[in-house]
């Protein structure tokens, strides 16, 4: 029997894993969720014999039940190859008493590579399985890192086109350069005059446009999503939580069954939701610490049970977390509502119409494995400075939000159980802010010169992703108003 997926807003919409991945978003606007979360029953002593790829198979086979063993294994081996600069794929680095799970060793030096290097393969396999001959158009809104990772994953993948919208003034200079220099005849990159939420809302609107869908279909196209609303993004992210646990066990840092904590720098709630799924599968997790920056909607939510996006959008030095509407929270809401699609729909409708909703007391009780925290820009910079001064280890601005939140948490508690800080980007991606936080004066303006300086300070080689953009030509320079996003898509696909 296949594990089926249904919409968070309607239990009668039921599809297989490959269909859920193909569609991206459910037609009713809901997100696909597995009808039950499978248990990981393989003993840890057996998991401990596996490398990252083998472990990925062990996890993904539980979810992708309509894929064959061969198909899953092929997707995995095409994804986690020498695009990563270490065979560990997700190295766990001990610095002082803390562990940093480094998820930035892929092609675009941020954690989005963990899922986006496999998603194109899962998706093209899904199309083949479901006998879809339409060209798949990946439509993506990005706060900076998803865009590049998706572009890199889908560039020149046969049968696909990829269109990325990013906030023109809301990404770092390296992030922008990475996107606008993207090669591949099937890639399109567009800056919008708005923030990430505008981009995400615009993309969701295009997905929900039935008239456009019909015209697309006539022209031989169908949309899918590379955003973390696609369940195919979420599932591969579960793997590294289990991997890091197994790695701690392998190093004799924990006993089998011992509970650990994860601290996750959070924006759209995708990464930490994968940790929650890992926990629901049986991974011994004590707490999930959800770290936000100044856009602390999630912190307030965990404090009060009220989600309220009616506030100023703040641009910070951790742009990939500058988000007020965390899409993946809808999946958590669905689970804590007892898998109740009507309740979920009611809350999501409230969010759309009033920008706010409040969950019930019973739902709040089910959130007790989560702790919300946040760090201001100043606190984030201090964390980079402190960790560098203490250990020589250089954090990027997102990981530093998590590090800061964790140290504030420790101040309040005497809890010393094993903790893993989920490290989401290479410091090279945000070199200017990182060097500034460390206290380097007279920073050069040029990204590459900053990278050279960072190499001297950190002793870590400049990643090839930085070398690539250094001399690359700009290939994309379109900018549009948020109201023109659909028109841009129609223009690119030449549909009227
Ligand atoms: C996307 C991103 C985040 C936030 O992850 P979510 O899954 O959106 O919560 C954090 N840090 C970096 C570097 C990112 O690229």
Q: What is the CATH number of the domain that holds 254?
A: 3.40.50.1100
What is the number of the ligand 1 atom nearest to the C-alpha of 270? 7
Neighbours of 135 (CB within 10 A): 17
Residue 228's pLDDT is: 86
Among protein residues, the one with the nearest Cα to ligand 1's atom 1 is 320
Banded model confidence at residue 173, pLDDT cuts 50, 70, 90: confident
What is the number of the ligand 1 atom nearest to the C-alpha of 323? 8
Residue 258 burial class via C-beta count within 10 angstroms: exposed 0-12, middle 13-18, buried 19 and up: middle
Our mutation pick for probing the ligand 1 site, out of 321, 328, 372, 463, counting the most ligand atoms within 8 A of Cβ, is 321
Residue 208's pLDDT is: 87
* Residue 457 predicted with pLDDT over 80: yes
In the DSSP assignment, the letter for residue 110 is: B
For residue 110, the CA-to-ligand 1 centroid distance in Å is 8
Banded model confidence at residue 1, pLDDT cuts 50, 70, 90: confident
- Report the candidate in 81, 77, 112 with the shortest Cα–Cα distance to residue 426: 112
Ligand 1 pocket, Cβ-based, cut-off 6 angstroms: 110-112, 145, 228, 265-271, 320-321, 398, 424-425
Q: d(Cα 356, Cα 373) in Å, to the nearest integer? A: 20
| Residue 396 lies in domain | 92-107+232-471
Percent of the chain with pLDDT over 70: 100
pTM: 0.94
Q: d(Cα 30, Cα 335) in Å, to the nearest integer? A: 13
pLDDT digits (tens, 9 = 90+) for 275-291: 999 999 999 999 999 99
Query: Do residues 154 and 138 touch, judged by C-beta distance below 8 A?
Result: yes
For residue 314, the CA-to-ligand 1 centroid distance in Å is 16
Residue 91's pLDDT is: 98
Assigned domain for 99 exists: yes
Residue 107's pLDDT is: 92
Kindly list the distances between the CA atom of residue 378 and the CA atoms of 242, 374, 404, in Å, as whole numbers in the listed order.
33, 12, 10
* Residue 417 predicted with pLDDT over 90: no
Q: Write down the catalytic residue from 78, 112, 441, 494.
A: 112
Assigned domain for 75 exists: no
Assigned domain for 148 exists: no
Average pLDDT, the chain: 95
pLDDT digits (tens, 9 = 90+) for 329-375: 999 999 999 999 999 999 999 999 999 999 999 999 999 999 999 99
What is the number of the ligand 1 atom nearest to the C-alpha of 429? 13
Q: d(Cα 70, Cα 334) in Å, to the nearest integer? A: 33
- Total domain count for the chain? 1
Banded model confidence at residue 144, pLDDT cuts 50, 70, 90: confident
Residue 293's pLDDT is: 98
Please compute the mean of the pLDDT values over residues 133-147 and round it to a whole number. 91
Active site residue 365: no
Assigned domain for 401 exists: yes
Assigned domain for 5 exists: no
pLDDT digits (tens, 9 = 90+) for 23-70: 998 989 899 999 999 999 999 999 999 999 999 999 999 999 999 999
Neighbours of 63 (CB within 10 A): 23
Assigned domain for 206 exists: no
Percent of the chain with pLDDT over 90: 90
Query: Do residues 344 and 333 touch, judged by C-beta distance below 8 A?
Result: yes
- Report the candidate in 395, 370, 465 with the shortest Cα–Cα distance to residue 108: 465
Assigned domain for 173 exists: no
Contacting residues for 422 by C-beta, under 8 A, at least 6 apart: 101, 103, 111, 262, 263, 264, 265, 271, 275, 399, 402
Assigned domain for 27 exists: no
């Amino acid at each position: 029997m296949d594990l089926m997926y249904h919409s968070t807003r309607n239990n009668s919409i039921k599809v297989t894993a490959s269909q859920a991945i193909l569609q991206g978003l459910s037609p009713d606007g809901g997100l696909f969720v597995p009808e039950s979360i499978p248990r990981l029953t393989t003993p840890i002593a057996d998991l401990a014999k596996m490398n990252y790829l083998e472990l990925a198979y062990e996890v993904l086979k539980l979810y992708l039940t309509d894929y064959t063993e061969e198909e899953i294994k092929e997707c995995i081996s095409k994804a986690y190859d020498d695009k990563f600069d270490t065979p560990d794929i997700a190295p766990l680095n001990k610095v002082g008493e803390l562990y940093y799970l480094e998820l930035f060793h892929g092609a675009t030096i941020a954690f989005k590579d963990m899922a986006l290097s496999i998603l194109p393969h899962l998706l093209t396999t899904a199309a083949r399985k479901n006998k879809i001959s339409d060209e798949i158009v990946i439509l993506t809104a990005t706060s900076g890192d998803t865009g590049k990772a998706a572009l890199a994953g889908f560039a020149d993948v046969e049968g696909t086109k990829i269109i990325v919208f990013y906030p023109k003034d809301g990404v770092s200079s390296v992030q922008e350069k990475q996107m606008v220099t993207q090669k591949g005849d099937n890639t399109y990159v567009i800056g919008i005059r708005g923030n990430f939420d505008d981009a995400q809302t615009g993309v969701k609107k295009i997905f929900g446009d039935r008239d456009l869908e019909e015209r697309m279909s006539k022209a031989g196209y169908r949309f899918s999503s590379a955003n973390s609303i696609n369940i195919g993004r979420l599932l591969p992210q579960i793997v590294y939580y289990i991997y890091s646990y197994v790695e701690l066990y392998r190093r004799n840092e924990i006993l089998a069954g011992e509970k650990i904590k994860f601290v996750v720098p959070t924006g759209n709630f995708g990464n930490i939701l994968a940790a929650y799924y890992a926990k629901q599968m049986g991974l011994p997790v004590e707490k999930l610490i959800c770290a936000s920056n100044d856009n602390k909607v999630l912190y307030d939510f965990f404090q009060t049970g009220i989600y309220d996006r009616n506030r100023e959008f703040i641009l910070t030095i951790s742009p990939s977390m500058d988000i007020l509407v965390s899409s993946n929270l809808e999946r958590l809401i669905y689970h804590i509502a007892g898998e109740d699609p009507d309740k979920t729909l009611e809350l999501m409708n409230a969010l759309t119409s009033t920008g706010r909703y409040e969950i019930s007391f019973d739902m709040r009780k089910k959130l007790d494995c989560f702790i919300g925290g946040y760090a201001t820009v100043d606190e984030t910079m201090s964390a980079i400075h402190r960790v560098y001064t203490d250990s020589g280890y250089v954090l990027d601005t997102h990981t530093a939000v998590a590090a800061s939140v964790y140290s504030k948490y420790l101040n309040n508690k005497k809890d010393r159980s094993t903790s893993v800080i989920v490290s989401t980007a290479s410091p090279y991606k945000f070199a200017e802010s990182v060097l500034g936080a460390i206290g380097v004066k007279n920073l050069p303006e040029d990204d590459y010169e900053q990278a050279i300086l960072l190499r001297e300070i950190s002793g870590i080689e400049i990643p090839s992703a930085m070398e690539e953009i250094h001399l690359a030509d700009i290939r994309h320079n379109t900018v549009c108003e948020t109201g023109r996003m659909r028109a841009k898509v129609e223009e690119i696909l030449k549909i009227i």
